[in-house]
Amino acid sequence: MNKILFFIAFAISIAAPLQSIEKPGVELAIIVNKDNTLDKLSITEARLYWMRRGAQKNWASLKTIVLPVDRKGASMEKAMFYKLVVKLSESETDSYFAAKQYQSAENPPVKFASDREIIQYVADNKAAIGYVNIASLKEEDRSQVKVVCVVAE
Amino acid sequence: MVNIAFNYPQTTMNPTKRFTWARAFFAFTLVLLAAAHAIAQPNTNLKFYAHPGFDFYNNSSQNSSSPYFRGGPLVVFLTSQISDKVSVAGELNMHYMATTGAEIELERMYIKYDWKSHLHVSVGRMYSPIGFWNVNYNFGLVLQPNISRPRILNPTHDGGFIQTRDTGLQLGGDNIGKAGFFYRLFFANGIGRNGGLLGTPYQLGSQLSYTAQLGIEPSEGLKFSVSGVINDLPNGSITQFDVPVPESMRNTLMTASIAHMNVDKKLELIAEFYANTHSYQTINEKTLTGSIVYVGYKTSTKVVPYFFAEFLNFANGDPYYPLLNPYTNQQYVSSAEYNLGLRFRFNSNLVFKTELAALNQDVFGWSAGLKTQLAVGF
């Protein structure tokens, strides 16, 4: 019996570091265009802007409506963003944006399949706000987009 | 409470558009073009809405029971953010009514310029800014909390009573100050405009309608508002029933509304009151009143039990209304309706609703019913 317990404990001690190597802690970067005058957002503020809620429907300094950007399909980044920032299920969020679209002609978030496409869209649109894995941001991207919030589990 | 309608000759009944293959082809082509455009443009979004259902009503005093399948319309809704400040919305409704046949109607088509949060300008055809329900729920019933649109808000082109959508110019602003003040000013064609593009230009009618809505949103999703509409109808103006007004008159509408609909909150509430007054030169003033109450509670992210009630009260002998509604072939009667419902959201695109209904109509008495609806948006 002791041998079995020792074997289980040994297996766990081996497996635990392996697991941490396979799933390193992911950090999300919430990004806006370089022309956006905001340099920092709390998670709550980022949520309000991304969801275009209340007065956060517009960028006051840019005088334009906010353009949220989302990921297509399922991804680790998307799951993390919805859990930690939006704090609603994807279905609830889709309903929320569908209602805003139907009620006031506000387009739902533009969706892209990769971080690279999101970075490019945010770089090209001064009103955009999106999220990417911070590891996807290259040095040259930082001259075109700004990280205003970092989210980690 | 029974409405005794003024007896005057009815002109051509029902101005609505008969379905033709040419129209079907046009609509189909438009949808295909819109779909192709939406795929090509990331800032263009296309949605379709549909909501078939089944109703069963029983009225023991009339010795009648009525099972009825509702086909519902197919609604195409398109929005496009064509620049930082300019967006476009269009809504096309294709449906079939037993009395008028298949129809295609343009519900909305407007261009909106968001100058800043406190001022946006829209021009085109849009929902009149009256109350909360009318501007938030119409044909995308997957978004509407209950099954049926309130009777008081039935579209005028389907025989409804008040002007719920119109063509014109709207100024609006939101989130002003700490109280979240918002306003809408709408200058529109109103009831009584004749002909349109196909009419004789100098006979289009001389009076616009004027609508104002003022409100506050002290916390997100909690809205208090009042609205008013003034629409003068000179002698000879044609009503939405395609008949002339009995005499020169003023049509006014006052509404008051409280709504609490917030994605983060469990309690849902909408309460509204409408008073539509017809002021004539020689005939006594007549007022139609309507009130609605909706209360729902999110027991989970998917399930919402709710209660919905509506009261509609016609003034006796208002000559504005024909003896029979030409769109439904039914009398205009006062009614009280109570519904206990359950809404189940499978996902954002598929919602099932069911209601136990009790409806009391003048002349017809009480009916009990079971209503169901499967609403989709895709």
pLDDT band at B96 (very low <50, low <70, confident <90, very high): confident
Q: Where residue A43 sits, what CATH number does that domain have? A: 3.40.190.10
Instruction: Specify if A51 maps to a domain.
Output: yes
Please give the pLDDT value at position A145. 96
Q: What is the mean pLDDT of residues A79-86?
A: 95
* Contact residues for B257 (Cβ-Cβ < 8 A; gap 6+): B131, B132, B133, B215, B223, B224, B225, B226, B227, B270, B271, B272, B273
Instruction: Specify if A107 maps to a domain.
Output: yes
Query: What pLDDT digit, counting tens, does each position of B297-326 carry?
Result: 999 989 999 999 999 999 888 999 888 877
Inter-chain touch B175–A55, beta carbons under 8 Å:
yes
Nearest chain B residue to A57 by CA distance is B117
Of A88, A106, A121, the CB nearest to B263: A88
Q: What is the mean pLDDT of residues B152-161?
A: 78
**DSSP letter, residue B198:** G
Residues of B in contact with A67 (CB under 8 A): 81
Residues of B in contact with A87 (CB under 8 A): 264
pTM beyond cutoff 0.80: yes
Residue B282: closest CA among B237, B235, B247 = B247
Residues of B in contact with A103 (CB under 8 A): 135-136
Of B81, B85, B142, the CB nearest to A107: B81
Q: List the domains of chain B with CATH numbers.
A: 21-377 (2.40.160.10)
Gap between the Cα atoms of B281 and B250, Å rounded: 9
Gap between the Cα atoms of A120 and A31, Å rounded: 11
**Residue B374 and residue B360 in contact, taking contact as beta carbons nearer than 8 Å:** no
Nearest chain A residue to B91 by CA distance is A102
Residue B84, chain A, CB below 8 Å: the answer is yes
Closest-CA distance of chain A to residue B112, Å: 8
User: In terms of DSSP bridges, do strands A128-133 and A67-71 run parallel, antiparallel, or are they unpaired?
Assistant: parallel
Inter-chain touch B175–A94, beta carbons under 8 Å:
no
Q: What is the mean pLDDT of residues B21-49?
A: 67
Inter-chain touch A98–B180, beta carbons under 8 Å:
no
Query: What pLDDT digit, counting tens, does each position of A45-69 carry?
Result: 999 999 998 888 889 888 888 999 9
Q: What is the mean pLDDT of residues B144-161?
A: 85
E strands, chain A, are 27-33, 58-59, 64-65, 67-71, 110-112, 128-133, 145-152
Phi-psi region of B309 (alpha: psi -120 to 50; beta: other; left: phi over 0): beta
Q: Domain containing A102: what range? A: 24-152
Instruction: Specify if A83 maps to a domain.
Output: yes
Asked whether the predicted pLDDT for residue B38 surpasses 60, the reply is no
Please give the pLDDT value at position B297. 97
Chosen from A70, A102, A106, A126 to mutate, greatest number of chain B CBs within 10 A:
A102
Instruction: Specify if A13 maps to a domain.
Output: no
Gap between the Cα atoms of B362 and B45, Å rounded: 45
Contact residues, B window 172-201, toward A, CB-based 8 Å cutoff? 174-175, 180
Please give the pLDDT value at position A15. 46
Please give the pLDDT value at position B4. 39
Within 13 Å of residue B274, how many CA atoms lie on the same side as its CB? 28
Question: In chain A, how many domains are there?
Answer: 1
Q: What is the mean pLDDT of residues B39-67?
A: 85
**In degrees, to the nearest 5, what angle opens at C-alpha B164 toward C-alphas B158 and B170?**
140
Q: What is the mean pLDDT of residues B257-263?
A: 95
